[in-house]
């Protein structure tokens, strides 16, 4: 049940936007600034993503116990501290300590953020609201992430760390705009809450083909955020490519909610997969900065559409907290696998065949998921 005003949704969205911008800067920062150490890049991203995923399953219970506002404030504090340690790290243990703190904070805030939208918005407006939420948070990242990378490259990594710490403090302040009681004891009143949610029921409720499409799509997004900027650095600015990916992602997140309402869930899902696969192939088959920028924009646009459609579809099938966990595990699982995979692919000069394989897999998964999405939408909307 929606319990709060537009101001609360705005505070939530603004706070999460800052956190997303800091996190995606960290995700791209080490591969770009330590391009001569791809093994270290894989270790950092792999460690960070392991902790992102490790904390997510506990987040809905924390929100029910302590409230949405309290959990978000703690998550932003962890992310800010982790970014500061990462930026100032003088050795590998410090770098990995920053990855642990950053990953734990981001994993908590990203699940709580999506769950918060469902708690604050009426069910009949949830699809478009998720699209707007995704648009704003990724738009902030599309500006903040390249800016963070550029700060580190132009000045120093510690300068980025201090800037990210300040952003985390601002996010904590914005979280105060969410009423203190929101989320506490919320499981019974969440939209689309269904029958008992034991482990077996939870697993049976997961729309697996949709989750597979999301995971494969985010692996390609990881290429756009890590290995594609490295390849493009031979022709121009790596930060420009990161901006193209994040800008496309922001547009896709908003467009996904609108397209779903206008042309249907199946066409929207397949269209997103098609754009994503085309962008992946373009970036490795066409040389030059223009090709890299176009590739990044298409990758971002496609994955943004896929993210919005799959999040809404999962929330139609499961209660909001569990749906946010499943969706974010798929997203962050893709970032985890991709962060390790593309670092190793760069080391072995296998980025081109790897991207082509994943582009084909995304296209196949798009066809399969579109079929399941059609059935899922009719089943849950009839009962919602």
DSSP-assigned letters across all residues of 125-171? GHHHHHHHHHHHHHHHHHHHHHHHHHHHHHT-HHHHHHHHHHHHHHH
DSSP structural state of residue 155:
T
Distance CA 178, CA 250 (A): 24
Per-residue pLDDT at 374: 65
Q: What b-and-e string marks burial along 71-89, b requiring 16 or more CB atoms within 10 Å of the CB?
A: bbbbbbbbbbbbbbbbbbb
DSSP 216-240: HHHHHHHHHHTHHHHHHTTTS-HHH
Of 348, 346, 208, 218, nearest to 280 by C-alpha is 218
Of 114, 124, 137, 122, nearest to 6 by C-alpha is 122
* Alpha helix ranges (H) inside the chain: 6-33, 38-56, 59-66, 68-88, 92-120, 126-154, 157-175, 199-205, 208-225, 227-232, 238-263, 265-285, 289-317, 320-348, 351-383
Instruction: Enumerate long-range contacts of 343-346, CB under 8 Å, 24 or more apart.
Output: 343/31, 343/38, 343/39, 343/41, 343/42, 343/45, 343/226, 343/227, 344/38, 344/42, 345/227, 346/38, 346/227, 346/230
Give the tokens for residue 290. Answer: 């223009």
Residue 200: other Cβ atoms inside 10 A:
9
Distance CA 14, CA 305 (A): 21
Per-residue pLDDT at 380: 40
State pTM to two decimals.
0.73
From its phi and psi, is residue 182 left (phi > 0), alpha (psi between -120 and 50) or beta? beta
Contact 168, 18 (CB under 8 A): yes
- Show the low-confidence residues of the chain (pLDDT under 70): 1-5, 35, 38, 186-204, 374-384
Contact 45, 30 (CB under 8 A): yes
Per-residue pLDDT at 187: 52
pLDDT in tens, 33-49: 776 776 787 788 889 98
Give the tokens for residue 368. Answer: 């399969």
Fold of 6-375: Growth Hormone; Chain: A; (1.20.1250)
Contact 256, 130 (CB under 8 A): no
Of 183, 190, 171, 197, nearest to 63 by C-alpha is 183
Give the tokens for residue 99. Answer: 């990855």
Distance CA 312, CA 131 (A): 9
Distance CA 224, CA 208 (A): 25
Give the tokens for residue 85. Answer: 């340690």
Per-residue pLDDT at 361: 95
Distance CA 345, CA 190 (A): 42
Using DSSP's 3-state secondary structure scheme, residue 38 falls into helix
Distance CA 11, CA 233 (A): 37
Which residue matches tokens 């706070």? 15
Q: For the chain, which residues make up each domain, given as ranges? A: 6-375
Distance CA 270, CA 363 (A): 8
Using DSSP's 3-state secondary structure scheme, residue 34 falls into coil
pLDDT in tens, 38-80: 678 778 888 998 898 889 888 988 998 999 999 999 999 999 9
Per-residue pLDDT at 273: 95
- C-alpha 104: how far from its chain's center? 14
């Amino acid at each position: 049940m929606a319990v709060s005003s537009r101001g609360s949704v705005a505070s939530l969205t603004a706070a999460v936007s800052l956190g997303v911008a800091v996190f995606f800067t960290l995700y791209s920062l080490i591969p770009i600034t330590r391009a001569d150490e791809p093994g270290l890049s894989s270790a950092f991203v792999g460690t960070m993503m392991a902790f992102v995923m490790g904390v997510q399953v506990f987040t809905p219970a924390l929100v029910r116990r302590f409230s949405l506002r309290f959990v978000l404030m703690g998550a932003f504090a962890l992310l800010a501290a982790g970014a500061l340690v990462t930026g100032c790290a003088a050795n590998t243990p410090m770098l990995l300590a920053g990855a642990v703190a950053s990953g734990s904070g981001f994993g908590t805030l990203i699940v709580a953020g999506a769950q918060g939208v469902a708690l604050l918005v009426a069910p009949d407006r949830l699809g478009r609201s998720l699209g707007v939420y995704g648009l704003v948070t990724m738009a902030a990242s599309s500006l903040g992430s390249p800016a963070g990378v550029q700060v580190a490259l132009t000045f120093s990594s510690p300068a980025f760390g201090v800037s990210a710490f300040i952003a985390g403090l601002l996010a904590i302040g914005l979280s105060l705009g969410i009423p203190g009681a929101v989320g506490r004891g919320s499981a019974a009143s969440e939209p689309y809450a269904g029958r008992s949610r034991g482990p077996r029921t939870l697993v049976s409720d997961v729309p697996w083909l949709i989750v597979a499409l999301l995971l494969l799509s985010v692996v390609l997004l990881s290429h756009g955020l890590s290995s594609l900027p490295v390849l493009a650095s031979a022709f121009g600015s790596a930060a420009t490519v990161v901006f193209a990916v994040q800008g496309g992602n922001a547009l896709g997140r908003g467009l996904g909610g609108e397209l779903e309402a206008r042309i249907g869930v199946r066409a929207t899902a397949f269209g997103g997969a098609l754009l994503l696969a085309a962008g992946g192939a373009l970036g490795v088959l066409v040389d030059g900065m223009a090709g890299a920028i176009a590739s990044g924009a298409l990758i971002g646009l496609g994955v943004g559409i896929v993210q919005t459609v799959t999040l809404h579809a999962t929330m139609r099938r499961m209660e909001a907290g569990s749906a946010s966990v499943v969706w974010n595990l798929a997203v962050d699982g893709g970032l985890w696998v991709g962060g390790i995979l593309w670092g190793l692919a760069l080391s072995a000069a296998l980025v081109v065949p790897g991207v082509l394989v994943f582009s084909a897999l995304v296209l196949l998964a798009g066809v399969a998921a579109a079929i399941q999405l059609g059935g899922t939408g009719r089943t849950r909307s009839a009962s919602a």
